[in-house]
Protein backbone atom coordinates (compact mmCIF):
# COMPACT_ATOMS: atom_id res chain seq x y z
CA UNK A 1 0.00 0.00 0.00
CA UNK A 2 2.85 2.40 0.81
CA UNK A 3 4.38 1.85 -2.63
CA UNK A 4 1.02 2.46 -4.33
CA UNK A 5 0.48 5.71 -2.45
CA UNK A 6 3.97 6.79 -3.39
CA UNK A 7 3.33 6.16 -7.10
CA UNK A 8 0.14 8.23 -6.90
CA UNK A 9 2.08 11.09 -5.37
CA UNK A 10 4.82 10.94 -8.01
CA UNK A 11 2.25 11.16 -10.81
CA UNK A 12 0.63 14.26 -9.36
CA UNK A 13 3.94 15.91 -8.54
CA UNK A 14 5.29 15.15 -12.01
CA UNK A 15 2.29 16.85 -13.66
CA UNK A 16 2.87 19.85 -11.40
CA UNK A 17 6.58 19.90 -12.31
CA UNK A 18 8.16 19.27 -8.88
CA UNK A 19 8.79 15.52 -8.87
CA UNK A 20 12.22 14.68 -7.36
CA UNK A 21 14.73 12.53 -9.26
CA UNK A 22 14.09 9.42 -7.18
CA UNK A 23 10.35 9.83 -7.68
CA UNK A 24 10.83 10.22 -11.44
CA UNK A 25 12.89 7.05 -11.60
CA UNK A 26 10.32 5.04 -9.62
CA UNK A 27 7.43 6.37 -11.71
CA UNK A 28 9.08 5.49 -15.03
CA UNK A 29 9.96 2.00 -13.85
CA UNK A 30 6.39 1.46 -12.69
CA UNK A 31 4.88 2.59 -16.02
CA UNK A 32 7.20 0.32 -18.01
CA UNK A 33 6.27 -2.70 -15.92
CA UNK A 34 2.82 -3.12 -17.45
CA UNK A 35 0.49 -1.69 -20.12
CA UNK A 36 -2.18 -1.58 -17.42
CA UNK A 37 -0.02 0.83 -15.44
CA UNK A 38 -0.01 3.13 -18.45
CA UNK A 39 -3.81 2.92 -18.51
CA UNK A 40 -3.89 3.78 -14.83
CA UNK A 41 -1.80 6.83 -15.57
CA UNK A 42 -4.47 8.05 -18.01
CA UNK A 43 -7.20 7.49 -15.44
CA UNK A 44 -5.35 9.55 -12.85
CA UNK A 45 -4.71 12.31 -15.34
CA UNK A 46 -8.45 12.42 -16.03
CA UNK A 47 -9.10 12.84 -12.31
CA UNK A 48 -6.49 15.54 -12.03
CA UNK A 49 -7.81 17.43 -15.07
CA UNK A 50 -11.18 17.63 -13.35
CA UNK A 51 -9.56 19.52 -10.50
CA UNK A 52 -6.99 21.63 -12.30
CA UNK A 53 -8.73 24.97 -11.77
CA UNK A 54 -8.83 24.48 -8.01
CA UNK A 55 -5.05 24.16 -8.17
CA UNK A 56 -4.76 27.32 -10.28
CA UNK A 57 -3.20 25.53 -13.27
CA UNK A 58 -4.18 26.25 -16.85
CA UNK A 59 -5.14 23.57 -19.32
CA UNK A 60 -1.92 24.35 -21.20
CA UNK A 61 0.15 23.70 -18.07
CA UNK A 62 -1.66 20.41 -17.43
CA UNK A 63 -1.15 19.31 -21.03
CA UNK A 64 2.51 20.28 -20.91
CA UNK A 65 3.02 18.15 -17.83
CA UNK A 66 1.20 15.27 -19.46
CA UNK A 67 3.32 15.58 -22.59
CA UNK A 68 6.42 15.23 -20.41
CA UNK A 69 5.06 11.98 -18.93
CA UNK A 70 4.24 10.61 -22.39
CA UNK A 71 7.70 11.44 -23.71
CA UNK A 72 9.58 10.09 -20.69
CA UNK A 73 7.60 6.86 -20.58
CA UNK A 74 7.98 6.11 -24.27
CA UNK A 75 4.23 6.29 -24.87
CA UNK A 76 2.68 7.52 -28.13
CA UNK A 77 0.85 10.84 -27.94
CA UNK A 78 -2.45 9.00 -28.32
CA UNK A 79 -1.97 7.69 -24.82
CA UNK A 80 -1.31 3.90 -24.84
CA UNK A 81 1.96 2.04 -24.76
CA UNK A 82 2.96 0.76 -28.16
CA UNK A 83 2.13 -2.88 -27.40
CA UNK A 84 -1.27 -2.22 -25.85
CA UNK A 85 -4.35 -3.34 -27.77
CA UNK A 86 -7.12 -0.80 -28.37
CA UNK A 87 -9.41 -0.51 -25.39
CA UNK A 88 -13.21 -0.49 -25.63
CA UNK A 89 -14.88 2.84 -24.95
CA UNK A 90 -14.49 3.73 -21.28
CA UNK A 91 -17.70 3.70 -19.28
CA UNK A 92 -16.36 6.08 -16.65
CA UNK A 93 -13.13 7.58 -15.47
CA UNK A 94 -12.84 5.22 -12.47
CA UNK A 95 -13.22 1.96 -14.45
CA UNK A 96 -9.55 1.64 -15.34
CA UNK A 97 -8.45 2.33 -11.80
CA UNK A 98 -10.68 -0.39 -10.43
CA UNK A 99 -9.45 -2.92 -12.96
CA UNK A 100 -5.73 -2.68 -12.15
CA UNK A 101 -3.86 -3.35 -8.96
CA UNK A 102 -3.38 0.23 -7.77
CA UNK A 103 -5.67 1.50 -4.99
CA UNK A 104 -8.58 3.59 -6.26
CA UNK A 105 -9.15 4.97 -2.79
CA UNK A 106 -5.55 6.16 -2.68
CA UNK A 107 -5.89 7.88 -6.08
CA UNK A 108 -9.07 9.68 -5.10
CA UNK A 109 -7.81 10.54 -1.64
CA UNK A 110 -4.69 12.13 -3.04
CA UNK A 111 -6.51 14.23 -5.61
CA UNK A 112 -9.15 15.27 -3.09
CA UNK A 113 -6.47 16.16 -0.56
CA UNK A 114 -4.96 18.59 -3.04
CA UNK A 115 -8.40 19.90 -3.97
CA UNK A 116 -9.71 20.41 -0.44
CA UNK A 117 -6.55 22.00 0.91
CA UNK A 118 -6.36 24.33 -2.07
CA UNK A 119 -10.05 25.21 -1.69
CA UNK A 120 -9.67 26.02 2.00
CA UNK A 121 -6.69 28.27 1.40
CA UNK A 122 -8.47 29.99 -1.43
CA UNK A 123 -11.55 30.61 0.67
CA UNK A 124 -9.42 32.21 3.37
CA UNK A 125 -7.81 34.53 0.83
CA UNK A 126 -11.02 35.69 -0.84
CA UNK A 127 -12.40 39.11 0.09
CA UNK A 128 -16.15 39.75 0.19
CA UNK A 129 -17.54 43.28 -0.15
CA UNK A 130 -21.25 44.04 0.18
CA UNK A 131 -22.67 47.51 -0.45
CA UNK A 132 -25.10 48.24 2.36
CA UNK A 133 -24.18 51.92 2.65
CA UNK A 134 -27.22 53.36 0.88
CA UNK A 135 -25.01 54.86 -1.84
CA UNK A 136 -22.82 53.62 -4.67
CA UNK A 137 -19.62 52.01 -3.42
CA UNK A 138 -16.39 52.29 -5.41
CA UNK A 139 -13.46 49.94 -4.86
CA UNK A 140 -10.16 49.05 -6.53
CA UNK A 141 -9.31 45.41 -7.19
CA UNK A 142 -5.80 43.94 -6.75
CA UNK A 143 -5.00 44.46 -10.47
CA UNK A 144 -6.06 48.13 -10.42
CA UNK A 145 -9.47 47.55 -12.05
CA UNK A 146 -12.30 49.72 -10.71
CA UNK A 147 -15.69 48.48 -9.56
CA UNK A 148 -18.80 50.50 -8.68
CA UNK A 149 -21.22 48.47 -6.56
CA UNK A 150 -24.93 49.26 -6.72
CA UNK A 151 -27.10 49.17 -3.60
CA UNK A 152 -27.16 45.71 -2.04
CA UNK A 153 -24.60 44.23 -4.46
CA UNK A 154 -21.98 41.79 -3.22
CA UNK A 155 -18.65 40.99 -4.85
CA UNK A 156 -15.95 38.50 -3.88
CA UNK A 157 -12.41 38.26 -5.21
CA UNK A 158 -9.03 36.84 -4.15
CA UNK A 159 -6.56 38.96 -2.25
CA UNK A 160 -4.09 38.21 -5.04
CA UNK A 161 -5.19 37.24 -8.54
CA UNK A 162 -3.71 34.11 -10.10
CA UNK A 163 -1.02 34.44 -12.73
CA UNK A 164 -3.27 33.22 -15.56
CA UNK A 165 -6.72 34.70 -14.80
CA UNK A 166 -8.63 37.16 -12.62
CA UNK A 167 -11.72 35.58 -11.06
CA UNK A 168 -14.61 37.59 -9.62
CA UNK A 169 -18.00 36.54 -8.26
CA UNK A 170 -20.95 38.93 -8.25
CA UNK A 171 -24.48 39.04 -6.89
CA UNK A 172 -26.45 42.21 -7.65
CA UNK A 173 -25.31 45.01 -9.94
CA UNK A 174 -21.90 46.52 -10.59
CA UNK A 175 -20.02 48.55 -13.18
CA UNK A 176 -16.52 47.34 -14.09
CA UNK A 177 -13.63 49.36 -15.52
CA UNK A 178 -11.17 46.56 -16.23
CA UNK A 179 -7.42 47.11 -16.61
CA UNK A 180 -6.22 45.49 -19.83
CA UNK A 181 -4.05 42.39 -19.40
CA UNK A 182 -3.96 40.01 -22.36
CA UNK A 183 -2.16 37.34 -20.33
CA UNK A 184 -4.87 37.23 -17.63
CA UNK A 185 -8.54 37.25 -18.67
CA UNK A 186 -10.89 38.99 -16.24
CA UNK A 187 -13.77 36.60 -15.50
CA UNK A 188 -16.94 37.51 -13.58
CA UNK A 189 -19.08 34.58 -12.50
CA UNK A 190 -22.79 34.82 -11.63
CA UNK A 191 -25.51 32.23 -11.09
CA UNK A 192 -26.47 32.15 -14.77
CA UNK A 193 -23.67 33.81 -16.67
CA UNK A 194 -19.91 34.00 -16.98
CA UNK A 195 -18.43 37.21 -18.41
CA UNK A 196 -14.86 37.14 -19.73
CA UNK A 197 -12.93 40.25 -20.81
CA UNK A 198 -9.34 41.39 -21.29
CA UNK A 199 -9.83 45.11 -20.68
CA UNK A 200 -13.12 46.97 -21.04
CA UNK A 201 -15.94 48.87 -19.34
CA UNK A 202 -19.28 47.17 -18.76
CA UNK A 203 -22.26 46.98 -16.43
CA UNK A 204 -23.45 43.65 -15.04
CA UNK A 205 -26.64 42.97 -13.11
CA UNK A 206 -27.16 39.43 -11.82
CA UNK A 207 -29.50 37.40 -9.65
CA UNK A 208 -30.53 33.74 -9.49
CA UNK A 209 -33.39 34.45 -11.94
CA UNK A 210 -31.80 36.77 -14.53
CA UNK A 211 -28.63 38.53 -15.67
CA UNK A 212 -28.00 41.57 -17.84
CA UNK A 213 -24.76 42.87 -19.37
CA UNK A 214 -24.40 46.30 -20.99
CA UNK A 215 -21.12 47.03 -22.78
CA UNK A 216 -19.73 50.58 -22.89
CA UNK A 217 -16.34 49.92 -24.55
CA UNK A 218 -14.11 47.05 -25.58
CA UNK A 219 -15.61 43.60 -25.96
CA UNK A 220 -16.90 40.88 -23.66
CA UNK A 221 -17.43 37.18 -24.19
CA UNK A 222 -20.52 35.81 -22.44
CA UNK A 223 -21.17 32.18 -21.70
CA UNK A 224 -23.79 30.18 -19.86
CA UNK A 225 -23.87 26.48 -19.11
CA UNK A 226 -27.03 24.80 -20.29
CA UNK A 227 -28.68 21.85 -18.63
CA UNK A 228 -28.17 18.49 -20.25
CA UNK A 229 -25.76 18.04 -23.13
CA UNK A 230 -26.18 21.46 -24.75
CA UNK A 231 -22.79 22.63 -23.56
CA UNK A 232 -21.62 26.19 -23.20
CA UNK A 233 -23.51 28.84 -25.13
CA UNK A 234 -21.48 31.94 -25.92
CA UNK A 235 -22.04 35.46 -27.29
CA UNK A 236 -19.54 38.22 -28.12
CA UNK A 237 -20.92 41.69 -27.30
CA UNK A 238 -20.06 44.96 -29.04
CA UNK A 239 -20.15 48.46 -27.48
CA UNK A 240 -23.69 49.78 -27.15
CA UNK A 241 -25.19 46.30 -26.89
CA UNK A 242 -26.99 44.58 -24.04
CA UNK A 243 -27.24 40.85 -23.40
CA UNK A 244 -29.97 39.35 -21.22
CA UNK A 245 -30.45 35.84 -19.88
CA UNK A 246 -33.21 34.31 -17.80
CA UNK A 247 -33.53 31.14 -15.77
CA UNK A 248 -36.85 30.54 -17.57
CA UNK A 249 -35.20 29.89 -20.95
CA UNK A 250 -31.89 28.83 -22.45
CA UNK A 251 -31.12 31.70 -24.80
CA UNK A 252 -29.04 34.89 -24.67
CA UNK A 253 -30.95 37.89 -26.07
CA UNK A 254 -28.84 40.72 -27.53
CA UNK A 255 -30.10 44.21 -28.40
CA UNK A 256 -28.81 47.75 -28.95
CA UNK A 257 -29.52 50.19 -26.10
CA UNK A 258 -29.06 53.78 -24.99
CA UNK A 259 -26.02 53.41 -22.72
CA UNK A 260 -26.92 56.37 -20.53
CA UNK A 261 -30.14 54.70 -19.39
CA UNK A 262 -28.16 51.85 -17.88
CA UNK A 263 -24.86 53.44 -16.82
CA UNK A 264 -25.70 56.88 -15.39
CA UNK A 265 -26.41 55.53 -11.89
CA UNK A 266 -22.69 55.43 -11.07
CA UNK A 267 -21.92 59.02 -12.11
CA UNK A 268 -21.88 62.05 -9.82
CA UNK A 269 -23.57 64.16 -12.49
CA UNK A 270 -26.45 63.27 -14.79
CA UNK A 271 -26.32 65.20 -18.07
CA UNK A 272 -29.29 64.99 -20.41
CA UNK A 273 -29.90 66.64 -23.76
CA UNK A 274 -33.47 66.74 -25.02
CA UNK A 275 -34.20 63.49 -23.20
CA UNK A 276 -37.73 62.19 -22.64
CA UNK A 277 -38.91 62.94 -19.10
CA UNK A 278 -39.84 59.27 -18.67
CA UNK A 279 -36.23 58.26 -19.41
CA UNK A 280 -34.83 60.91 -17.06
CA UNK A 281 -37.06 59.66 -14.24
CA UNK A 282 -35.99 56.09 -14.94
CA UNK A 283 -32.33 57.10 -14.55
CA UNK A 284 -33.01 59.07 -11.37
CA UNK A 285 -35.00 56.17 -9.98
CA UNK A 286 -31.99 53.91 -10.51
CA UNK A 287 -29.47 56.38 -9.13
CA UNK A 288 -31.46 57.05 -5.95
CA UNK A 289 -32.78 53.49 -5.56
CA UNK A 290 -36.36 54.63 -5.30
CA UNK A 291 -39.66 54.43 -7.22
CA UNK A 292 -40.72 57.36 -9.43
CA UNK A 293 -44.06 57.28 -11.24
CA UNK A 294 -45.34 59.69 -13.87
CA UNK A 295 -49.10 60.06 -13.51
CA UNK A 296 -49.76 61.64 -16.91
CA UNK A 297 -48.74 59.98 -20.17
CA UNK A 298 -48.40 63.36 -21.88
CA UNK A 299 -45.66 64.28 -19.42
CA UNK A 300 -43.68 61.17 -20.33
CA UNK A 301 -42.95 62.60 -23.78
CA UNK A 302 -41.84 66.04 -22.56
CA UNK A 303 -38.19 66.75 -23.38
CA UNK A 304 -35.65 67.86 -20.80
CA UNK A 305 -32.07 69.14 -20.98
CA UNK A 306 -29.81 69.86 -18.04
CA UNK A 307 -27.01 68.74 -15.73
CA UNK A 308 -27.95 67.41 -12.30
CA UNK A 309 -25.74 66.70 -9.31
CA UNK A 310 -26.80 63.25 -8.11
CA UNK A 311 -25.16 63.85 -4.73
CA UNK A 312 -27.96 66.26 -3.90
CA UNK A 313 -31.28 65.11 -2.39
CA UNK A 314 -33.70 63.90 -5.05
CA UNK A 315 -36.24 66.55 -4.05
CA UNK A 316 -33.68 69.24 -4.93
CA UNK A 317 -33.47 67.86 -8.47
CA UNK A 318 -37.26 67.80 -8.70
CA UNK A 319 -37.35 71.48 -7.73
CA UNK A 320 -34.91 72.28 -10.54
CA UNK A 321 -37.01 70.38 -13.07
CA UNK A 322 -40.14 72.08 -11.71
CA UNK A 323 -38.57 75.45 -12.52
CA UNK A 324 -38.26 74.67 -16.25
CA UNK A 325 -41.17 72.28 -16.81
CA UNK A 326 -44.86 72.36 -15.80
CA UNK A 327 -44.72 69.57 -13.21
CA UNK A 328 -45.26 69.02 -9.52
CA UNK A 329 -44.23 66.10 -7.35
CA UNK A 330 -45.51 64.18 -4.36
CA UNK A 331 -43.99 61.64 -1.99
CA UNK A 332 -46.14 59.12 -0.12
CA UNK A 333 -43.41 57.73 2.09
CA UNK A 334 -42.33 54.98 -0.28
CA UNK A 335 -42.55 56.36 -3.84
CA UNK A 336 -42.49 59.63 -5.77
CA UNK A 337 -45.20 60.69 -8.20
CA UNK A 338 -44.75 63.29 -10.96
CA UNK A 339 -47.95 65.12 -11.95
CA UNK A 340 -48.91 68.00 -14.26
CA UNK A 341 -48.79 71.38 -12.58
CA UNK A 342 -52.29 72.61 -11.75
What CATH number corresponds to the domain at position 307? Answer: 3.55.50.30
Last residue of one domain, picked from the residues 259, 288, 319: 259
**Which pLDDT belongs to residue 38?**
62
Residue 176 belongs to a domain with what CATH number?
2.60.120.1440
How many angstroms separate the CA atoms of 196 and 219, rounded? 9
> Residue 200 in contact with residue 187, Cβ under 8 Å?
no
Other Cβ atoms closer than 10 A to 250: 13
* 7 and 98 together in one domain: yes
Same domain, 30 and 104: yes
pLDDT for 145: 94
pLDDT tens digit string along 148-204?
Answer: 999 999 999 998 898 899 999 999 999 999 999 989 999 999 988 899 998 899 999
For residue 51, what pLDDT is reported? 47
> Considering only 70-84, 121-135, 244-258, which range has the smallest mean pLDDT?
70-84
Structural domain including 164 reads 131-259
Residues 332 and 254 in one domain: no
Angle at 97 between CA 96 and CA 100, to 5 degrees: 85
Q: Looking at the structure, do residues 197 and 289 belong to the same domain, yes or no?
A: no
Last residue of a domain, one of 123, 154, 172: 123
Domain boundary among 215, 236, 259: 259
191 shares its domain with 248: yes
Mean pLDDT of 74-97: 38
Q: What is the reported pLDDT for 226?
A: 55
Task: Find the mean pLDDT for residues 230-243.
Answer: 79
Same domain, 275 and 305: yes
pLDDT tens-digit series, residues 302-325? 999 999 999 899 999 999 999 999
- Does residue 245 surpass a pLDDT of 80? yes
pLDDT tier at 281 (50, 70, 90 boundaries)? very high
Together in a domain, 144 and 102: no
Residues 99 and 6 in one domain: yes
pLDDT for the residue numbered 43: 55
How far, in Å, are 288, 289, 303, 341 from residue 338 at the CA level? 16, 16, 14, 9
145 shares its domain with 79:
no
Q: Are residues 70 and 159 in the same domain?
A: no
Report how far residue 246's alpha carbon sits from residue 266's, in angstroms, rounded to the nearest whole number.
25
What is the reported pLDDT for 93?
Answer: 30
What is the per-residue pLDDT for 176? 96
pLDDT at 189: 92
| pLDDT band with cut points at 50, 70 and 90 for residue 285 | very high
Q: For the chain, how many structural domains are there in total?
A: 3
User: Confidence band (pLDDT; 50, 70, 90) for 44?
Assistant: low
**8 Å CB contact between 285 and 291:** yes
Residue 289: which region, alpha, beta or left (left: phi > 0; alpha: psi -120 to 50)? left
Q: Say if residue 135 is in the same domain as residue 255.
A: yes
pTM for this structure?
A: 0.60
Whether residue 62 is found in the same domain as residue 162 = no
Dihedral pair phi/psi, residue 269, rounded to 5°: -120, 140
Amino acid sequence: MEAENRINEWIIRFIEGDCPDDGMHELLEWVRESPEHAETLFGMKDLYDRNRFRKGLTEQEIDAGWARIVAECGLPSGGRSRDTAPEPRRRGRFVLLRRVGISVAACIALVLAFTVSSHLVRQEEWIVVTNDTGSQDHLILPDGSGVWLYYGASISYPEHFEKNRRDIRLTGEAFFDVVADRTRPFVVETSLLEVEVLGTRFNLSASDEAAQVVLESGSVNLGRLEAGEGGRQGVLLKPGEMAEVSSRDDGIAVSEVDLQLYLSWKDKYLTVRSQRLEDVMRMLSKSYNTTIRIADRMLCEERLSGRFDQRQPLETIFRIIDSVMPIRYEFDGSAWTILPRQ
